[in-house]
Structure 1
Amino acid sequence: MNKPKSETLVIVGMSGGVDSSVSAALLKEEGYNVVGLFMKNWEEFDEHGVCQSSKEYADVVKVCEKLDIPYYSVDFIKEYKEQVFSHFVEEYKMGFTPNPDILCNREIKFKVFFEKAMELGADFLATGHYCQSLMVDGQQRLVKGADPLKDQSYFLYTIKKEILEKVLFPIGHIPKTEVRRIAAKYDLATKEKKDSTGICFIGERNFKNFLSNYVTFEDGNFETLDGTIVGRHTGATYYTLGQRKGLGLGGQGEPWFVVGKDMKRNVVIVERGDHHPHMYADTLTATDLSFVGGAWDRPLPFKCTAKVRYRQKDQACTVTKIEGDKIYVEFDEAQRAITPRQSVVFYDGDVCLGGAMIEASGPSYYEMKRPLASLEVTSTSDH
């Protein structure tokens, strides 16, 4: 684009957090014509009668007025409930552990929100994600954020090249500590605001209580692989593969971990020890392929790295074949707790190639009757 920056309209997705606030500040400093746009996706009042989205918008207003840029709000509550939250609930009902952030990026932030920004005449949409959009070998590529502790490319693997070409990530090349410093420099209202956690756009809350408003749970048994009952749970859906905390199982010996679930019988399968071989496998299949370039453009078999969960270190693997909408992957080392309905995301160095939804792993080392001594721990649980 040959427009001067002063005539280039950049709409910044403002969340009320420090990352999007600093993104707007940096773009304004560079001379772009910047507009802040707040997206309202969830409306619920807490026990004090306070709506969280209203609090976030109030911070957006403070930041935009400090930066002297226009600001607006758009309502995507209906779209979020229909395209993200309803899917999230249905997945939990079936016993899976979904990742709503990935779906939210695909269906909301880089679809309806992106379309709204373009409709308003934007040349670019900017967000506060920790990742980068760079030209690599003559093509626009999604690249990891410079801060390895904050890189969010895992959540953005569904973004397509034609959209990526119109998206800016102003803080993707700097560490979080620098973002905080810039926020302090501009004396932004969000400069000391904690990073948001919890469910995308719904925020931090007692997850079990929140989910019980939408999903009915029944008590059931904790069982070992040989069928021994070792305790009772409050609903199999609450538990995920590799989980240790919150099981309520004691006794002498190593801690208990979830190694599987039998939803038909409402049974959570547990075993002692983080190294139990039933939790490890070195192959997986995945579906719902999504590649940044639109299609897989590498010869097979192809060696690359992959993550099966956010913040996992890159794991060496080989994409062995792709058949229709299914991809087959072999890891160099056994992976812990490969979880159906979570995403596997592929990288070539720092370039995010794309990803897919995990369908199944295995067979596990337990099923292959390999000795435990042959295993090497490659990651730790997120729970």
Structure 2
Amino acid sequence: MSAGATNAPRTVVGVSGGVDSSVAALLLAQAGEPLAGLFMQNWDDDGSGQCRAEEDRRDAVAVCGRLGMAFHFRDFSREYWAGVFEHFLAEYAAGRTPNPDVLCNREVKFKHFLDAARELGAERIATGHYAQVERAGGRWRLLRGADRDKDQSYFLHQLGQRQLAATVFPIGHLPKAQVRRLAREAGLPTHAKKDSTGICFIGERDFRSFLGQYLPAQPGEIRDPHGVKVGEHPGVFYFTLGQREGLNIGGVRGRAAAPWYVVAKDVAGNVLYVDQACDSPWLLSRTVRTEAMHWVEGGPPAAAFDGAAQVRYRQREEPCQVQANADGSLTVRFERAQRAATPGQSLVLYDGDACLGGAVIESTDAPVPGR
């Protein structure tokens, strides 16, 4: 479905109905770029009232109308389910904590969306991500967004040369406050819209209730690291390492009145392990082993090198020594212990502002209760 001009655009903007993609389109339009907008629906409305797809689509149409751009719509909900959500559920069922935003970027936004843009005759795509792309030494590099508080390169680390060569991030050099100011000055209907949160394309909702629709609750014991029962849980896969909320552990005889934190999960035994220190030694690790590494430029700078890595979003990168293994995995040793490095999450490597790539965390050397 489309409306507006029929001439093939040079760039197709992923219009999400949010302020970031709106300003990305605005800047390209002001530069005279032949444009079209494309709205992706990646999740079927499940009747919960939490899916904002229709509201977002109306806002995307309004932005395209304001900027005089053709509007296109594509339903990628089947592709999202097969490429992202089935993996998301399998990881939680295995006791790991997946990062759907990373897969969503790789499997949907920079795969099916890019293909759809090319079907419309476009040479490239643009999105409202806070990241930057540059060409250096014959290769494309993925750089952090200038606004470090909004930088999204962590979620884009699975992109490669093909995707980066056909992608622009028009707002990557801007702070968020300026993005909102530009939207307001241009009269864009999204200028004051709240940023989206929650699971990629699914939205913000009660996570336990949502996950429970697909992974039924299996209650079990909560124990301290020495095996002493201190409570009960509704299902180990509802929790992640370092989590404090939702444990519902009351006063425990002989224990301090201090918060408890998840330090380990025994999926086979259906046991959740907790401790009362935020930086419990059971949460700390210096060595992280990953699954196969994705390198943005196609390969590592060396078989072994000093680098910097993040094991979670919004973390400052930490100095580390990187060993690229023969099977494609990494062994990464940090100079100081990392808290709650979590299997299923991503370890992402940086060289200054350049994102080298990343991989899923397979395991760490944190101590394991019961062993």
TM-score (norm 2): 0.94
1:345 aligns with 2:359: no
1:316 is aligned to 319
The 5-angstrom pairing of residues 97-176 of structure 1 reads 97-176=97-176
1:365–1:203 CA distance, 2 compared to 1 (3 A): closer
Asked if structure 1 preserves the Cα contact closer than 8 Å seen for 2:283 and 2:366, the reply is no
Long gaps (5+) in structure 2: 1-6
The answer on 1:361 being equivalent to 2:364 is: yes
Aligned-pair CA distance for 1:288: 2.6
Contact 1:12 1:125 in 2 (8 A): yes
Would you say the 8 A contact 2:288–2:365 is kept in 1? yes
Q: Is the 8 A contact 1:16 1:60 kept in 2?
A: yes
Name 1:21's counterpart in structure 2: 22
Contact 2:273 2:369 in 1 (8 A): no
Give me the whole-angstrom Cα distance separating, in 1, the residues matched to 2:146 and 2:54. 32
Q: CA deviation at 1:321?
A: 3.4
- Please state how far the C-alpha of 1:294 moved relative to its aligned partner: 1.7
Q: Which moved more, 1:19-28 or 1:204-213?
A: 204-213
1:361 to 1:367, Cα distance in 2 relative to 1, 3 A:
farther
Uncovered stretches (5+) of structure 1, i.e. residues with no partner: 1-5, 369-383
Give the aligned residue type for 2:65: E
Do 1:281 and 1:365's aligned partners in 2 also have CA atoms closer than 8 Å? no
Aligned Cα RMSD in Å?
A: 1.9
The corresponding residue for 1:278 is: 282
Amino acid in structure 2 at the alignment position of 1:328? T
Q: Conserved in 1, the CA contact under 8 Å of 2:85 and 2:100?
A: yes
Amino acid at match of 1:277: P
Q: Distance in 2 between matches of 1:16 and 1:263?
A: 39
Runs of 4+ in structure 1 displaced over 3 angstroms? Answer: 45-48, 363-368
Residue matched to 1:224: 224
Output the TM-score relative to the length of structure 1: 0.91
The 2-side partners of 1:288 and 1:196 are apart by 31
State the one-letter code of the partner of 2:270. N
Q: One-letter code of the match for 2:218?
A: E
Identity of aligned residues (%): 46
Query: Does the 8 Å contact 2:292/2:327 carry over to 1?
Result: no
Letter in 2 for 1:272: Q
Contact 1:42/1:77 (CA < 8 Å) preserved in 2? yes
Structure-2 residue corresponding to 1:11: 12
Instruction: Give the secondary structure class of the aligned counterpart of 1:134.
Output: strand
Tell me the distance in 2 between the aligned counterparts of 1:51 and 1:234.
25
Secondary structure of 1:24's counterpart equals helix
CA distance in 1, matches of 2:51, 2:348: 35
Shift of 1:365: 10
Distance in 1 of aligned mates of 2:279 and 2:370: 15
Give the letter for the 1:278 counterpart.
W
Q: Aligned partners of 2:51 and 2:318: how far apart in 1?
A: 41
Partner of residue 263 from structure 2, selected from 259, 262, 265? 259
Deviations 1:128-157 (A, max 9, x none): 000000123442100000000000000000
State the alpha-carbon separation in 2 of the partners of residues 299 and 367 from structure 1.
Answer: 38
Distance in 1 between residues matched to 2:286 and 2:147, nearest whole Å: 28
| 2:43 aligned residue | 42
